[in-house]
Each structure stands twice: as structure tokens, then as C-alpha cells.
Amino acid sequence: MAGNLPPMGHYARATLTVVTVLILVAAAWAVRATLLLVVVAAVLAVGLDPAVRRLQRIHISRGWAVMLIFLVMVGFLLVFALLVIPPLVKEVRQLASDIPGYVNRLQTSQGWFGDFERKYHLSTKLKELTDRLPSLASSSLGRILGITKSVASLIFNLLTISILTIYFLLTLPKTEQSIERLFRGDYSERNRLMFEESLQRIGGYVSGNIAVSIIAGVASVVFLRIFGIPFAAALAIWVAITDLIPTVGATLGALAAVIVAFFSSVADGIATVAYFIVYQQVENYLIVPRVMRKAVDLSPAAVIVSVLIGGSLAGFAGALLALPLAAAAKVVVRDVWLRPRSEVPEPAEEELPEGSLP
């Protein structure tokens, strides 16, 4: 029995390997926020690379192509800020000045709503809340500082992702060549093709998802403008941003537009609900299949599970990264584990001598 046991060096190497893996996992978990920024930047770089290559085909250098794309993205963010912040400040001020008028309407209203107000004194409570707003604001200084800190952290993360994405885009061709040099041996060609297909899946998903979101934003701003819904441009941009999130993003974007529409009028709210229901069907069954094609190639169940896992692990960013990473992982699993097994030849049947029984 003792002769069949592996030598002690085998156990030592196995133990060292396990300990090393655990240390690496613990270190990665400790810096997971930084790693998440790196992964987001890498996925964005792979997704934007097809656009950079198209610009290169019209004789624009890679550096200028990357700069042009980022100028467009920065312009988009500036337009969003200009469309959202000034109207929001104006509406908040208008709401504060209109509160006394709302109180008077409540006090003089008739019917069941007036009876409800007089029974529970809603107008009095609303007026008391308005009078307490300055003191509430001063007592909430800590919360305001916390919000300011969160906004500063968000801006820093966006700048970090932008710088990393620019760097990854500029060096992506050399990085691909360096990684392909690592694929040596009997399976070098298979590994190279697997790596290229993984990048194509990620890039195809990111670029396709951006295209679908732009279509959603343009269609939404046209509808909201026609019906005169307030903040049409800002709501359309919000729809485009949330539409980047698979499965639930379109619903989140539609919810904000529907709420604003109902504040405008009941008819506008119903029309907005009907529009987003119809558009969601058009997007799911017409736009996405044509734009995305086979970029992801995941079942609906795999899509939902991937989004849930990504969202629980890394929040909004995890939900965005879930599908492209899952699509790349599927390529690796297929080529490394499933395809080699399916290609193993079946053992040949042993030929029996003539006259012998099987």
C-alpha cells in the first residue's frame, strides 16, 4: 500500500498551489474595486476597437481615431448634463414657490379629496413640512457631505476608466500580438482562434448594445417631443443609458418617463405606457436580433442568471459586464472542455479471431 502513495513532494506542491491560489483570490478581493475599473476599461476598449478600426480604414491614425471617439463621448455627457441639470434646478425652485398654492387648493377642494384633506389635515402637515425645510437642510449637512463625497468618487472613477480605456485602445493591437505569442504547442492555433472569437464576442456585444441604446434614445425623444412631455431630451438620454443594462434596463428607463408623463396628464401617461410596451416588443424581436446577431449566443436563462450574478457582485457595472464576459466564457468552455471531448475518437472494437465466440 505504501508503494502506491505519491511522494511527499507531491503533497507539498499541491498545498503550495492551493495556498498561492487562496492568497491571490484574497488579494484580488481586497482590491476588487480597482480591478472592476480595469475590467470595465478593458471591455470598453475591446468594444470600441471596431469603431477605431473603421476610422483607420479611412486613413486616420489610431491615436487620432481614439481621440475622436472620446471627444464624441465627452460631448454626449456634456449635452446630458446641460439638458438635465438646469431644468431640474428650475423645476425644484418652481415646485417650492408653488407649494403655498397647492396648500390653498387642498383646503378649498371639494368632493372626496376635500373630505380626505379635512379629516387628516394634509394641507397643515404640508405647510409644516415646508416651514421645516431650512432646518432639515442644515441638520442634513452630514448627508450632503456624504453625497458630495460620492459624486467626487464617481467623477474620479469615470476619469480613471476613461484614461485606462484610452491606454488600452492605443495598445490593443500590440497586446493582442503579445497574448497570441503565448499560445504555443499542439493547441496554439485553437487557442489563438478561441482568443480572437472571445474578443469578437465582447466587441460585438458592446458595439451592438451601444447601437441599440442610441436607437432607443432617438425613438424616445421623437415620441416625447410629439406628445409634449417635459424633459423630453433628458428622459430620452436616460432611456438610452438604462437600455445598456440587459433585461431590466429598458423598464427602468421607461419608468422615469412614465412618471413624468403622468404628472403632465393622465392621457400622456397612458400614451407613454403604450409607447414603451410597443417599443419594447419591437426592440426585443426586431432591433436586437438584427443588430446583435450572434454576438452573445446565450440562452434567455443564461442571460438572466448572468445579469443577476453580475449585479449582485458589482452592482450597475457588474450588470453591464455580465453578458460580454459570459459570452467570452462560453467560447472558452466550448473550445477547452466541450469540443476536445466531442472530438475524441471512439475506441475501435477488438477484432476476434475466426471461429471464436464473442
Residue 231, SS3? coil
> What is the DSSP-derived secondary structure letter of residue 185?
S
Q: Whose CA is closest to 49, among 270, 179, 159, 204?
A: 204
**Contact 209/250 with Cβ under 8 angstroms?**
no
* Contact (Cβ atoms closer than 8 angstroms) between residue 235 and residue 220: yes
Q: Which three cell numbers stand for residue 57?
A: 480604414
C-alpha 49 chain-centroid distance: 18
Looking at residue 348, what is its pLDDT?
Answer: 45
Show the low-confidence residues of the chain (pLDDT under 50).
1, 344-353, 355-358
Per-residue model confidence (pLDDT) at position 141: 52
Taken as a whole, the chain contains a residue count of 358
Element (H, E) at 292: helix 288-292
Amino acid at the residue 194: M
Question: Angle, nearest 10°, between helix axes 249-264 and 188-226?
Answer: 10
One-letter-per-residue 3-state SS of 322-350: HHHHHHHHHHHHHHHHHHHHHCCCCCCCC
pLDDT at position 212 is 87
CB under 8 Å to 183, separation ≥6 — which residues? 189, 191, 192, 195
Q: What does the pLDDT read at residue 220?
A: 92
Q: What is the pLDDT of residue 95?
A: 56
Tell me what percent of the residues of the chain surpass a pLDDT of 90.
6
d(C-alpha 69, C-alpha 75), whole Å: 10
φ, ψ at 27 (rounded to 5°): -65, -40
Burial 202-236 (b: 16+ CB within 10 A, else e): bbbbbbbbbebbebbbebbbebbeebebebbbbbb
CA distance 282 to 289: 10
Task: Tell me the residue type at 2.
Answer: A
Condensed to tens digits (0 to 9), the pLDDT of residues 238-297 reads: 898 888 877 677 888 889 889 888 887 888 889 999 999 999 888 878 887 777 656 666
The pLDDT score that the predictor gives to residue 357 is 47
